[in-house]
Amino acid sequence: MTNNNTAPAPCVILVEPQLCENVGMAARAMKNCALKELRLVNPREDYLSAKARAASSNSEEILEQAKVYSSTSEAIGDLQYVLASTARHRDQTKLVFDASAGACEICKHINRGARCGIMFGPERTGLRNEDICLADGIINVPLNPEHCSLNLSQAVLLIGYEYYKQTIELRPGELVTNHSQIAPKEKVLLFCKHLEGKLSQFANYSDEQKREKLVINLRNIFTRSELTEQELNTLYGIVNYLGEKRD
């Protein structure tokens, strides 16, 4: 789903982050994912310190524009849709989304014009129940259950990444060429015939059945590679060179 309107990206709310480096690295992860607005609830350390700035790695403007709040409810007061990032459900009756579905849900709300946010808890303990119950739902990064501990900035990165993917056209798989076109079939076949013509003395080439099989194999090899025109020219050069050597 691409983002159709000009409503801003979701803001990231860090509730009581402990280490300023983590705030800096979270800012860096936000920038990786085109997220801009950072809100901090009672950060323990100075999020504008040299340490935090260094950790943000060229994302200082996110730190400089961050807003500080004294409670979670205040930090999300103007938002209309908020998801809480947490691995545990803690006995609450709550909508739970995996990271991809949660990002999709946020984009749906953004497209309807809602201001959205994603909140993350303190490094050691994660979000408290009293914070989680303020959110519309829980967003959960699916990871190896035997080792799912993520640091704060990695959680921001993975959820931010899922958000970012929702806003762009993905490229599921394409052949990128070096400015040269993929050769049309007739040129590939001409090359194969050229090569075959050089093989008159090749082992077993006089045996019609074996020759036919070889031809099929060669054509399969060169068809499978989706050769470009430039690559075909390279192969012509090589075949001719080897052919001369042989003659």
Question: Which residues in this chain contact a second copy in the complex, by CB under 8 A?
Answer: 28-29, 31-34, 57-59, 89, 91-98, 100-102, 105, 137-138, 140-144, 146-150, 154, 157-158, 161, 164-165, 168, 170-180, 228, 230-231
Specify the 3-state DSSP secondary structure of 129: helix
In the complex with a second copy, the residue whose CB is nearer, 45 or 229, is 229
Least separation in angstroms between CB 204 and a second copy: 28
Least separation in angstroms between CB 178 and a second copy: 5
212-216 — which CB contacts under 8 Å span 24+ positions? none
In the complex with a second copy, the residue whose CB is nearer, 150 or 239, is 150
Least separation in angstroms between CB 220 and a second copy: 17
Buried b (16+ CB within 10 A) or exposed e, 129-153: eebbebbbbbbbbeeeeeeeeeebb
Report which secondary-structure segment, H or E, holds 139: strand 137-140
What is the C-alpha to C-alpha distance for residues 19 and 124, in angstroms, rounded to an integer? Answer: 10
In the complex with a second copy, the residue whose CB is nearer, 42 or 228, is 228
Q: Note whether 150 and 158 are within 8 A (CB).
A: yes
In the complex with a second copy, the residue whose CB is nearer, 69 or 161, is 161
17 half-sphere exposure, CB direction, 13 A CA radius: 28
Q: Which residues pair with 84 in a beta bridge?
A: 119, 138
Least separation in angstroms between CB 7 and a second copy: 18
In the complex with a second copy, the residue whose CB is nearer, 68 or 168, is 168
In the complex with a second copy, the residue whose CB is nearer, 27 or 75, is 27
Least separation in angstroms between CB 83 and a second copy: 11
A 10 A CB-CB count for 89 gives 12
Angle at 165 between CA 161 and CA 170, to 5 degrees: 140
Least separation in angstroms between CB 144 and a second copy: 4
